[in-house]
Each structure stands twice: as C-alpha cells, then as structure tokens.
Amino acid sequence: MFQKEEMAANGTGVTSPRTPLKSILTEKAKGIPNDSAGTVKAQTIEELHSLQRKRSAPNTPLQGTAGAFANLSEDERQRQQLQSISASLASLTRGTGPKVIRGDPGGGKYQAVSHVAHHHHHIEAPVISVSDSSLKFTHVLYNLSPGELYEQALKYEKGSFLTSTGALATLSGAKTGRSPRDKRVVIDDTTQDELWWGKGSPNIEMDEHTFMVNRERAVDYLNSLDKVFVNDQFLNWDPKNRIKVRIVSCRAYHSLFMRNMCIRPTPEELENFGTPDFTIYNAGQFPCNRYTHYMTSSTSIDINLNRKEMVILGTQYAGEMKKGLFSLMHYLMPKRHILSLHSGCNMGKDGDVALFFGLSGTGKTTLSTDHNRFLIGDDEHCWSDDCVSNIEGGCYAKCIDLSKEKEPDIWNAIKFGTVLENVVFDEHTREVDYTDKSVTENTRAAYPIEFIPNAKIPCFGPHPKNVILLACDAFGVLPPVSKLSLAQAMYHFISGYTALVAGTVDGIKEPTATFSACFGAAFLMLHPTTYAAMLAEKMQKHGATGWLVNTGWCGGSYGSGNRIKLPYTRKIINAIHSGSLLKATYEKTEVFGLEIPSEIEGVPKEILRPENAWADKEAYKNTLLKLAGLFKNNFDTFTEYKIGEDKKLTEEILAAGPIF
C-alpha cells in the first residue's frame, strides 16, 4: 500500500527511495557528542562484559611472612593452590591428580597445572599410564561467592530457583534426609580400640580396601566432569583449635551450602590456607556399586580417619557433609581434651553462657534464640580449657510450618545467600509455602550465622554457667524444671531422652520414649561415657549448674493433658539465666529424685509438681513407673562402662537414675 502511494506521488512506475530525515538539533545540543557519557572502552560484547566484573582483591592486609604462600607472587600462589587441589583429586590407580585449571569452562584463559603426584598410604595398585581423563582439563571453581554460585545453580542445575526473598531454592534429589544405615567408618588397628562399636553405636565398620574402592569411584567421577567446586574453609571459631577442611563437590548447591555452614576464611587466611586437615569428596550424584563389600544400597557415606577423608556416593542431601564433619570433630576434639557437644549456645549481656541440649521437637532452637541474649551457635560446639566455641559458621534451620510471628529471626534470615532445601513455592510469585510437605517434611534453610541480628561474632564465649537438658515428655510426669546434681546431669545427658507423639511418625498412637546418648548418638565416634566424663569434669571445674527442663505435657499424657505453654518455659529459662532460680526453695520428687522449685514468678504453682496437675493420681503413678522402667532399660547398655578415672562417679551416676 505504501509503495503504491509513492508511485502515485512521482508519476512513474519506479519506486523512489525515501529521503532520510535530517537530524534535529536544539541550540543546547549543538557541539555535544552523540553519547554524553562517552563511548565504552570495549571492542566486543565479551570485552564489555569483562569490564562489568572487576577483579576482587584481598581486603585484609597480609601481615608478616606467616603462612605457606605469604611471600609468593600471585601466579606462584595460584599455581601451588592448584597443585594442592590436583593432589586432593589424585586417583589411586594412576597415582597422579588431574590437570586442573581455575574458572568456568569456556570462561577465558586461566592458569593451569599438570598432573601432581599423590602419596598414598602404602596401598599397592596397578599403574595406568594413559586414560581419557588424563588427557582433559578439570576446571576448578574455587571458593566462589554466593552470587557466582547462584549463577552456576540457576544455569546448570535443574530444580534451582530464585525465591521472592532472594534465597536459592534447590532440590536434594531422591534423598531428603540423612542415611544413617549407609554410613560407614573404616576400622583399623587404631579405630578398632578407640571408637564406639557394637550395640547402640552409630558406627558401622568397613575395611580400608573397600573405602579405597569407593574413593576411587568418587574421584574418577569427579575427574570425569568438566568442572568441580572446591571450598577451603574452617571448623571451630576457637583460633587455637581450628580445623582446615576442603570440600570437593559437583553441585553449586553443595558448594553454597558448605560455604554457609563452615567458617568462611578471610582473603588473607585463604591465601595462606595450605594443605587441608580433612577432605570431603562429594560425588553424591553418582551411586556406589551395590556389589561392593559392606554396601547395602546405592548410597554410601564413608569416613576414613587415618586418611582424613570422607567419600559420599548416591545421595545429594547436603546435610551428610555437615554431620560428617561433626562426627570428625567428635573424634578429633576429645584427643585434644576438648569436649564436642550437640547443643545450642547463647550468652547474656553480662557474659553468662548457657548450653542447650535437646532432640528434635524439644525447643532447642527456639529457646536458645533469645532477643535478649547473643547467639553463639544453634547446633554444634566445643568446650575447651579456654572457652566454649561454635564449630560452624552458619545455621541449618527446619522450615516446616515456619512463620514470621513464631520464628522472626529465621524468617528474616531467608534472603539472598540462603539455601532453601526441598521447599514448595508459587510458580509465578516465587513465594514459599512453608506448610507444604509435598517434597518432604524435612524442609531446611542454610544461612550464615551473621544473618541472625544478635549473633556473637566471633562465635565463642566464656565457660558456661548453666547446662540445660531439654526433654519433651509426652508422658506428662517430668516436672517443668528440675535442678540436677552433677551425677543426675550425667545420667540424663547419657540417656538423652525425649518422647515422640502421634503425628510425628506414622503408626504412633501413644507416646513413645526415644533415647539418644549425649543428645546426638548418631554423630558420636567415642563411647558416650567418654563425653559424659569430660562434661562432668568441666561442669565441676567451672561451677556450671545442670537443669532438666520439660517442654512437653503436664496434667496428663499426650491426648489427655496439656502442652506446657511456651511463655511459662521462657519464664523458667529466664529465671535460670538470671540466677534467681538458684535461690528458690526446693523439694524432691519420688522415683526420679528430682529437685523442683516451690515457686517461680510468672509460672502457675500447680504445674511445678506434676502429680498436683493430674486429676487421676493412680494413672499418674502408673505412668511415672512406666517411664522410669524405660529409662532403666535404656541405661543398662552403659552400666558396664567406667566413667572418669575411678568407679566413684560411675556408681554415683547409676544411683542418680530412677529408684522404684
């Protein structure tokens, strides 16, 4: 149509070209370049993108000449760093590590390092001189920032999304929790005598050869990839007892998770990192060989304390790395006369520290997170001769039914940098529905501890003043609070009691007692009495008081009684912190022999003594005796072990249990 109009206008049958419009310039615009900001200093779009990302430099000045790399040039430091990583990835059959190169595949030219020989622990194996993996480069994505890991996850990992608050939502695959029956520990001449084996132990043995088979499988898989993620980080905020760990993984999700959960080194510390004390090989996307000796499924989590290595096959659940390192600390720290603890920890403004022990559902996270106190940590700690310190650099919080009203600190911590595991969100708004259990009930958030406003950084403090043992007693016979003697504290610490109620586990119709030694039996390496003896020694030496706090039921068992109200429990905890509860008048209960206060400000007097809250006194007595019998049966496992240097403490602890 437009062409016909032009033809009509000039009266010919030939199309005439359009006359270009003249540039219109105002008086002010005359003499001003077309781009008032100037032209970009780039010849290609790739060069322009490179200008967008400036290279970061250490913001911590290097001090003195300490450290393995302190006096080296940047190129030499990176070369040695790559050599260290190549040695970590060394294959047993080839005896050398892969060719490694820093950076994302196709991301430009980076410094590379050829094969690095690795010295094995007297393991003989055939030498294979040529292989496909030896001809390729493995790209190393080293200690990436959250932004860089987001980019990797969103681009390459299916199931990764950005939520409305800026957190990274991921999926952990088929496994949405730990696989304790697939965890193995190498038994050798040393560990055979040192570790806790047999009845009640979480440690299932495997031999050195089988570990090496699984290690080879994991390393070969990692070396077959175009890229691997490498994190060099620390465990334990106590600078005297810090452990260097290296995590080699194949998912950005795993790298970001561990970046959040371990202690993040400063640029200076990273430059001087050197050789790690322990290495994790996470090849969780690849299964183990089910026909390998000791394997019971396609999943295997293997720890070799002699080699200082951990191998993960057949599970992508990130919590395996966190708890594997916790098991390591349960082995290493007692060797230094340091007590490793599965507990929360906070500190008052006057420097008074409290430890909180408790199994799932007891309120450990809720009660240790207190706006009036500083949070040292929520899960894993060490108690040395100098201080109590957090092992981790982050928090791993449950998200099921999370709300801003109930858990404002956790809610607000779910932002950019946080990993959200297995949550469900609106496909359009990306808002998370924390009540949705479609993927799993074990939805989690992993975030750096500094995301909590009242976190104490660095995460350590003075010796604890109070040791609080939490139990959710669904039988309704334990008092809301009891002051414990040292022997009683040890008895209940070794017992590690709580109760499951209907709804938490399928098939449960009435309260079921659960015992987990030291409130974390799944992660113990040594016998529970070893940790109990150390706790008794430290409590006695530093004058800490033990308390048993029931956050469960009163006035009857689950189904007939009522859950103790959280405000009442908080009043009890506050009275412990302030020291006012030490000044109360106490009376002793029957059977368990617990000392209970006659009154606490703000707490109804009738619930302090359990039998007073029960309408049916006979039912109360029968239920009390039933729970006492469960305690006694559970503790029979530990009666043959000596606690401490002589039998005196052992006899006192046995006498501190229920008498009926």
- What residues are annotated to the active site? 178, 323, 342, 360, 364-365, 379, 444
Both tokens assigned to 463? 């010796």
Backbone angles phi, psi at 216, to 5 degrees: -60, -40
Strands 353-357 and 344-347: antiparallel
Check if the beta carbon of residue 461 is closer than 8 Å to that of residue 347: yes
Could you tell me which residues are beta bridge partners of residue 444? 398, 421
Please say whether the beta carbons of 449 and 337 come within 8 A: no
Tell me the residue type at 499.
A
| CB-based contact 113:79 (threshold 8 Å) | yes
Q: Are 568 and 604 in contact (CB under 8 A)?
A: yes
In order, the DSSP letters of 303-350 are EETTTTEEEEES---THHHHHHHHHHHHHHHHHTT-EEEE-EEEE-TT
φ, ψ of residue 164 to 5 degrees: the values are -65, -25
User: What is d(CA 110, CA 131) in angstroms, rounded to the nearest whole number?
Assistant: 24
Secondary-structure breakdown of the chain: helix, strand, coil percentages, each rounded to the nearest 5 = 30, 20, 45
- 3-class SS letters over 198-240: CCCCCCCEECHHHHHHHHHHHHHHHHHCCEEEEEEEEECCCHH
284: enclosing H helix or E strand = none
Helices 528-542 and 486-495 cross at an angle (nearest 10°) of: 150
Greatest alpha-carbon span in the chain:
120
DSSP 97: P
Give SS3 for 479.
coil
* Among candidate residues 53, 171, 43, the one with its CA nearest the CA of residue 103: 53
The C-alpha angle with vertex 463 and arms to 651 and 321, in degrees rounded to 5, equals 85
Residue 134's contacts (CB-CB under 8 Å, 6 or more residues apart) are 94, 96, 98, 99, 115
> Which one, of 616, 550, 113, 85, lies nearest residue 362 by Cα?
550
Q: Which amino acid is at 43?
A: Q
Per-residue burial over 484-495, b = 16 or more CB atoms within 10 Å of its CB, e = otherwise: bbbbbbbbbbbb
Task: Return the amino acid letter for 594.
Answer: L
